[in-house]
A = this chain, B = another copy of it.
């Protein structure tokens, strides 16, 4: 996998796009990525689009074929891939595999979702399609409900405090303020968070990522071709794992095995250690998720991530910057786009052009998690000097 590079990136702002269709959003991001790569679109030989629920929410499937046609890419294979919230990362991995397998010199991975036109019930119902109906379908659970429970279990085990978790929210909301793509950056006090609407005890409104429209896209090629690109980023690893699709109920319901295995596999593939990683963009669909995920990924010992946040160790200038983009909480979570959006943000960091630039950023890791840990997509990218 070491012979691949990202040579073009593009993204719409994440937020509310009232006048654009889901196809138009995806096209906008894709065109920007193609322009950024400086290639002719006819050089692209494979298209993958990560999307979760365009059928239920937009009445639109066949996004692969529609995008290949409307971008003028010809008769190339064009495929929608789905793995709940990890759909974008899965699209990235498949575009990488197409190039690695020699099927094409250039591949495009697009992620897209359009959700804000639907009402809360419609969105909640559609998001629940990421649960296993046969086992949990009648449980009445929702993802905010489950993450609220996870928080309580984690707090019971490790004694983390509301104030510590709020540090995650404040960090990510503050980062979002400087990221022009972010939907909901803000300067928040602890009190702002504490007095925001209760969603699922102890989760409050500001602990949750918003409902979002958006699209991101990246162009992948061989590192050999990438020498012609203006600002290539090396793909050191991209992996995809499966985990428990049901409501977590095992020995350790506050850990997602798909994340643990994915990080292990990716570090092995990249041939690096966690110490080599300059920054992480991870799947903070809720504040508590950032804590669970950074422990699952092995960057912080179990029970310590909340304290790290409170001590500023995961800030942009901290020991390990986590979500310097603002993360899902601040950027928003257009489900299928999120994984590609993370790649976009890390590429900006490794190019040294991010609005929240991590100093001396050399290696970035993206972590994109679906459902209750049913699917994980994890990639490691590097500055070409590494």
Which residues of chain A have a CB within 8 Å of any CB of chain B? 21, 23-24, 47, 52-53, 55-56, 58-62, 64-66, 68-70, 73-84, 90, 93-94, 97, 100-101, 103, 125-126, 128-134, 137, 239-246, 257-258, 261, 370-371, 374-375
Contacts and interface: CB of A to CB of B under 8 A. Distances in A.
B129 A21 contact: no
A84 to B, nearest CB: 5
A58 B133 contact: yes
Contacts of A52: 61
Per DSSP, chain A at the interface is: mixed
A53 B61 contact: yes
A59 B129 contact: yes
Nearest to A54: B129
Given A60-B129, A62-B132, A90 B82 contact: no
B62 A375 contact: yes
A129 B62 contact: yes
A58 B74 CA distance: 33
Contacts of A55: 53, 55-56, 126, 129
Contacts of A23: 132-134
Given A52-B61, A65-B245, A101-B101, 14 more contacts: A62-B84, A62-B245, A62-B370, A62-B374, A64-B375, A65-B375, A66-B132, A66-B245, A69-B243, A74-B242, A75-B258, A78-B83, A79-B82, A97-B103
Nearest to A49: B82
A84 B239 CA distance: 26
State the number of copies, please.
2
Contact of A244 (B69, B125, B128): B69
B101 A62 contact: no
Given A59-B129, A101-B97, A374-B62, A79 B90 contact: yes
A134 B242 contact: no
A24 B77 CA distance: 30
Contact of A370 (B60, B65, B243, B370): B65
Nearest to A63: B82
Given A77-B241, A90-B79, A371 B84 contact: no
Contacts of A93: 77
A56 B122 CA distance: 12
15 contacts: A21-B133, A23-B134, A56-B56, A59-B125, A64-B82, A65-B245, A65-B374, A65-B375, A68-B242, A69-B374, A75-B243, A75-B258, A77-B239, A77-B240, A81-B82
Contact of A24 (B83, B134, B374): B134
Nearest to A102: B101
A59 B103 CA distance: 35
Nearest to A261: B75
Nearest to A48: B81
A370 B61 CA distance: 11
A90 B82 CA distance: 13
Contacts of A239: 77
A21 B59 CA distance: 23
**What 8 A-B pairs have minimum CB-CB distances, sorted nearest first?**
A65-B374, A77-B240, A68-B242, A61-B129, A80-B82, A101-B101, A75-B241, A55-B55
Given A242-B68, A242-B77, A261-B75, A62 B371 contact: yes
